[in-house]
Amino acid sequence: MFASLVITVVPFYHGANRYLDATYVTGERAAKPQALLIDFVMLFIEGIAFFALAMLANDEQVFYTGLAMLLVFDAGWVGITNLTGASVSDRFPDYAKWASVNLVVAAMICVSVWANLPWTTPGGTGFWRSQFTRDVALLILVVGRTFYDYWKVWPFYYPQDRAVVFSGIPAPAPARPPEVTTH
């Protein structure tokens, strides 16, 4: 569960920072005036959810159900960012493909966690042969989702045109280093 939490926190935190920078610092995209408050509230809720997940790591079913709900929530928030974009060009074009993976992985996590209840199979043997098998399957799901996330939106996480990214930063350029003279 710790590995699943860390592997999920990294792209969430990375993506949120890039999104906030792109929207409110570098000017790569523009948002409607009310977007900042919406973004703050949604990211604050995600932060609380990650804290709650860390505190609930002693109960696998609750932890993974919460993680699945967080994936659904995140897909919803990114959908809202498309609605708060100032224009059509400020929306994320591959949102549906990216969000659908979050939703599919969330559903697979829930099935994996809840399908092992004794009453789900005749004789009460459950779906998974062992706890270890289920743990590995859940970790593979989470790792796979993170890899897909980075693969699908790599240009957003790591923009190639750094001149565009840094041209809108409202800070002065760094001072030139002093020239060294030798006598």
Domain boundaries, the chain: 2-167
Q: How far is CA 64 from each of CA 73, 79, 136, rounded to the nearest angstrom? A: 14, 23, 13
Mean pLDDT of the chain: 82
pLDDT for residue 81: 84
Which pTM does this prediction carry?
Answer: 0.77
Mean pLDDT, residues 39-49 taken together = 94
Structure tokens at 13: 């935190």
pLDDT of 5 above 90:
yes
Under the banding of pLDDT at 50, 70 and 90, the label for residue 163 is: low
Give the pLDDT confidence of 53-87 residue by residue, as tens digits. 999 988 888 999 999 999 999 999 888 888 888 88
**Collapsed DSSP state (helix, strand, coil) of residue 58:** coil
**Collapsed DSSP state (helix, strand, coil) of residue 31:** strand
